[in-house]
Chains A and B, each alone.
Chain A
Amino acid sequence: MTLFGERVPRVEDARLVTGEGRFLDDLGQDALEAAFVRSPHAHARIVDIDVTDALDVEGLVAIYTHEDLEGRAAEPLPLLIPHPTLTHGRTPYALAKDEVNHVGEAVVMVVAGDRYAAEDVCDRIRVDYHLLPPVVGIEASRGGGRLVHDDVPGNVAAVMVQETGDADAAVDAAPRSLELDLAIERSASTPLEGKGVVARWDADDRSLLVHTSTQTSTSVRQAIAAKLELPVDRVEVVTPDVGGGFGVKIVHPWPEEVLVPWAARRLGRPVKWTEDRREHFVSSAHERGQLHHVRVGYDDGGRLLGLSVRFWHDNGAYTPYGLIVPIITSTQLLGPYKVGAYRVEFTSLYTNTVMVTPYRGAGRPQGCFVMERVMDAIAADLHLDRTVVRERNFIQADEMPYDQGLVFQDGRPLIYDSGDFPATMARLKDLVGWDDFPAFRDRARAEGRRVGIGLACYVEGTGVGPYEGGHIRVETDGTVVVSTGLTSQGQGHQTMLAQIVADELGVPFERIRVTTGDTRRFKYAVGTFASRTAVMSGSAVALTARLVREKALGIAAQALEADPGDLEIVDGHVRVKGAGGGTVSQVDLGAVAVLANPLRYAFDEAAGRATQFAAPADPDVAPVGPGEAPGLEATGYYSPTRSTFANGMHAVVVETDPDTAEVRILRYCVVHDCGTIINPMVVEGQIHGGVAQGVGGALYERIEYDSDGQLLNASFMDFLMPYATEVPTVEIDHLVTPSPLNPLGVKGAGEAGVIPGSAAIAAAIEDAEGITLTRMPISPSELFHLRKERLVEPVETTEGHT
């Protein structure tokens, strides 16, 4: 039986749900602990740091400021993703030097016997600041009157334009046109486990072992080596269980990822830092805040002729992750549509707020919101059914692969590899009962209830390169050890990768052990982001398993005196095809592994079989042939030419309370196409989680800064992550259009669920209320005020099908 495509229960779960998980804070019980004095001001110059009062706190070990840092550790943190248009990239120092640019920026590091003492010390350190005027929000920043960085005129980090054809001329010439201003506000990844680092310096070995809650251990390793000026082979980085990342942990090295190892080496003692919730809100990263101005031209049938989008991206105080988020918005905004001539221009702006880096969806929720609001506006203008306008603009299945004529975030052409958008839409209409909705609305109305339906479509570039690898070794007891360099944050990678190896190698699922994110095991990797693990590591591991299989067949062929072409591997045994299970004609993979490693010493019973006197051998043949290696193992890599593009469509039915303006989601339907599905249960879990975050982004979560740059809701009491009670049951249907780009036909599924949330929910509320929504999220209080502004009764909707 093949496991590919099966609902194999996650091997991770038993351990995690019984409390056997090992997260960062479970480690390093013997370590000193660090805490930080962070800036209480959004923009200020540091005048003086006075530690006098703190020196007699019991348990104090060390206090460090920027002056204590030396060499490259004292330089700004790296700009991870440079881009030619990022003319004014700026990154922070590990500890602030002279100036702070957002509330929460680390100014002083304290190391003490435990975190309690470290915080007591922090409380007693006095930092004098000279306040500078803060720049908060896009409107304040683009005025350019106040500057975040003195040497960045107009607060502009970058301006970037992409175009295909003359979009503005096309809009001007179009029979009909619209202009819209659309906004998405700030949110954040908010993994339940914050960041954290434990570092151990081995003075004898002159090496560092670092555990960090990251989405990329290999790159953190390189970064620490560079910053601490250590040879790379003296640094190893291990990722323990990670309680969510959602993008914020792909950024690296975080100041603490440099400072904790630096202090551990300097003190010669293990040091640990566990980020707390408040720190996470004010010193990690946020996302989503963008303002968009759209001009669109179309014909009387609603077919797009030209689209011109200008948007402003709030990148916060620094740009270590480059322009990835706005580049994704500019390219993925197009969704499943042919828009005619297209022009997009964005300005990436500094503000005195926490920096902005990708959060699950990474610029796509904003792009999807813009495009789908445009589709709904056209439908309203032409009194057409909203699905009809979309269908008229879809790229058709026979036009695949389809070149959108732009450059994607991986620097490669934006070419959709496969997909069947009309079929996805047809399934969504079926699933949600689109055509029956007017009757439902009428019944609800008769009961005095207000209901509405909305939908949104997206295309998601997934599985971006450059590469991932896999290493597979069969142990002499038949255990198969699989390792890949990228990291896991709870997605079910162990299960998914084991399913692939079980099929490719012909071994029982239970015999496979998968390790991720441990540089001691695998040194070359990129990381977990952009919905890339199944595509990248999945393909790499499949290719590697094929190499191991070939090697096993070769060795077994000699043992069985058969031709490798006549052999197969079934249930962990190599046997002659069609020969059944007789012991003479088969050999188990553990035995093959023994034979693969010709030995001198019989250190155990199994090994004895591979020693020099155990069996007659050809005296003229070298035990390990030229070009061969001992051991039943292989390393393989997968590197695609470009990204693969998944797609999906969501439909939402909401009910709004006519009196209290509360919004309740009655149904949430998803049709999803991520190519071939390895494990539907894992994919559905990813969709559920994504939808939960989409609902959060649409109705609950919002990062609230006041005009002084103080974050008003730096806790889960006031930053409203939805509870289980707020997340609807998600109804899912899958469409499968395999990707032609990789050996498995898979596409990414990790981020999909979140992308169309705000667009679809806005559309549904708009449909229920007859009020145009141009910014998300929306709260009951805001809906109440929009109703008051309208001052008229809800407009009857005029869907084409009514």
Chain B
Amino acid sequence: MKPAPFAYHRPRSLAEALDMLADLGEEAKVLAGGQSLVPLMSMRLASPAHLVDLNQVPGLATVDVGAEGVRVGALARHSQVEHDTASYDALPLLRQALRQVAHPTIRNRGTTVGSLVHGDPAAEMPAVLMLLDGSVTLNDVNGTRDVAATAFFKGPMETDLRPGELAVGASFRRPPPGSGSAFVEVSRRHGDYAMCGVGALVTASEGALSAARVCLVGVGTRPVLLDLAPALGDGVVDDEASAALVDAAIDPETDIHATADYRRHLAHVLVRRALAEARTAAEARAA
């Protein structure tokens, strides 16, 4: 379990990093927190010829809260985002989800943007980005582009990032006033990737829901975003109608930890739980 030979680069500025990535193209991988990439390299499941280490690039370890929402820089660690009070006040879902990402030691190094780019279909933060209408900002030597979450995640470990590009940050948008959120999941052990996880975002006024969306992880090749508007009547989500929507949207697989049937069952249970918690949160925020 030692990586194959690779060249290591440590750019000192964003421009230098982008130049390197342009030069090296497909041969290069960006190293952020290393919590996913290093184990893959050690097991020789990934053998990039070049590593471009972001960690000495200044100005990327940022968490900015504005009127639009929260913007997270490429070197903001999961734990920095998790513990940022202003972010929590603006978007409680960030912390609700981050607490379930791995363990504190891993969150101290792993980056939120890295987790988005890595694109694991069981990861929590891609679901959060989807629910919060977020986007990822990608730079290369020629300029910058913003890719909406819905277009960014393409398949298991597959995103819209192109060779030569660096994800410099991600933006999570504030939901409308009266919103509440929750993230619930079932994993085999505390901190493991979930067998199924559900984030929920609802809007409520005086006890009645006016909008409800969920995003499910671990039950498809990418996070499954679902607007439950069709199941919403009289300010409540109709469980049966929502279950039918969930069933149609997910495509879980069997692996050594859980059968597809069990994952499907979890999806239904967790959607109900997440909606209930999100609704309680919305009411608490309104109060």
Query: Which residue of the partner chain, among B5, B43, B189, contacts A722 with CB atoms under 8 Å?
Result: B189
For B229, what are the chain A residues with a Cβ–Cβ distance below 8 Å?
none
Which chain A residue has the least Cβ–Cβ distance from B268?
A659
Query: Which residue of the partner chain, among A120, A712, A779, contacts B188 with CB atoms under 8 Å?
Result: A779
B256 A712 Cβ-Cβ under 8 A: yes
Q: For the complex, what is the distance from the CA of A780 to the CA of B257, rounded to whole Å? A: 9
B269 A660 Cβ-Cβ under 8 A: yes
B2 A781 Cβ-Cβ under 8 A: no
Q: For the complex, what is the distance from the CA of A276 to the CA of B2, rounded to whole Å? A: 9
The smallest beta-carbon distance between B251 and chain A, in angstroms, is: 17
User: Is B1 positioned at the interface, with any CB of A under 8 Å from its CB?
Assistant: yes
For B186, what are the chain A residues with a Cβ–Cβ distance below 8 Å?
660, 662, 780
B256 A784 Cβ-Cβ under 8 A: no
Partner-binding segment picked from B20-28, B258-266, B277-285 = B258-266
B262 A116 Cβ-Cβ under 8 A: no
B266 A276 Cβ-Cβ under 8 A: no
A115 B2 Cβ-Cβ under 8 A: yes
For B103, what are the chain A residues with a Cβ–Cβ distance below 8 Å?
723
Query: Which residue of the partner chain, among A119, A120, A276, A718, contacts B256 with CB atoms under 8 Å?
Result: A718
Which chain B residue has the least Cβ–Cβ distance from A119?
B2
The smallest beta-carbon distance between B106 and chain A, in angstroms, is: 12
Which chain A residue has the least Cβ–Cβ distance from B266?
A660
A725 B4 Cβ-Cβ under 8 A: no
B188 A276 Cβ-Cβ under 8 A: no
Which chain A residue has the least Cβ–Cβ distance from B269?
A659
User: How many A-B contacts at CB < 8 Å in the complex?
Assistant: 65
Q: For the complex, what is the distance from the CA of A120 to the CA of B103, rounded to whole Å? A: 32
B256 A704 Cβ-Cβ under 8 A: yes
User: Is A123 positioned at the interface, with any CB of B under 8 Å from its CB?
Assistant: yes
For A702, what are the chain B residues with a Cβ–Cβ distance below 8 Å?
256
Quick one: CB contact mask for B57-71 with A, threshold 8 Å, 1 for yes? 000000000000000
A123 B4 Cβ-Cβ under 8 A: yes
With A278-B1, A722-B189 known as contacts, the answer to whether A781 contacts B258 (CB < 8 A) is yes
Which chain A residue has the least Cβ–Cβ distance from B103?
A723
Complex interface residues of chain B between 178 and 221 (CB less than 8 A to chain A): 186, 188-192, 195
A781 B262 Cβ-Cβ under 8 A: yes
Q: For the complex, what is the distance from the CA of A661 to the CA of B257, rounded to whole Å? A: 13
A785 B256 Cβ-Cβ under 8 A: no
User: Is B44 positioned at the interface, with any CB of A under 8 Å from its CB?
Assistant: yes
B258 A780 Cβ-Cβ under 8 A: yes
With A116-B5, A704-B256, A781-B262 known as contacts, the answer to whether A723 contacts B190 (CB < 8 A) is yes
A725 B1 Cβ-Cβ under 8 A: no
With A704-B256, A779-B258, A781-B262 known as contacts, the answer to whether A720 contacts B189 (CB < 8 A) is yes
Query: Which residue of the partner chain, among B191, B258, B270, contacts A723 with CB atoms under 8 Å?
Result: B191
User: Is A726 positioned at the interface, with any CB of B under 8 Å from its CB?
Assistant: yes
Q: For the complex, what is the distance from the CA of A389 to the CA of B258, rounded to whole Å? A: 36
A700 B189 Cβ-Cβ under 8 A: yes
Query: Which residue of the partner chain, among B5, B189, B195, contacts A120 with CB atoms under 8 Å?
Result: B5
For A276, what are the chain B residues with a Cβ–Cβ distance below 8 Å?
1
B44 A123 Cβ-Cβ under 8 A: yes
For A720, what are the chain B residues with a Cβ–Cβ distance below 8 Å?
188-189, 192, 257
Complex interface residues of chain A between 697 and 745 (CB less than 8 A to chain B): 700, 702, 704, 712-713, 715, 718, 720, 722-723, 725-726
Binding site for B on A (CB under 8 A): 115-116, 119-120, 123, 276-278, 659-662, 700, 702, 704, 712-713, 715, 718, 720, 722-723, 725-726, 779-781, 784-785
Q: List 29 A-B pairs, Cβ < 8 Å.
A: A115-B2, A116-B2, A116-B5, A119-B2, A119-B4, A119-B44, A120-B4, A123-B44, A278-B1, A659-B269, A660-B266, A660-B269, A661-B262, A662-B186, A700-B189, A702-B256, A704-B256, A712-B256, A713-B256, A718-B256, A718-B257, A720-B257, A722-B189, A723-B190, A725-B189, A725-B191, A779-B257, A781-B195, A784-B261
**Beyond A723-B103, A723-B189, 18 extra complex contacts between A and B, CB < 8 Å:** A116-B3, A119-B1, A119-B2, A119-B44, A659-B269, A660-B266, A660-B270, A661-B262, A662-B186, A700-B188, A700-B189, A704-B256, A718-B257, A723-B191, A779-B258, A780-B195, A781-B259, A785-B259
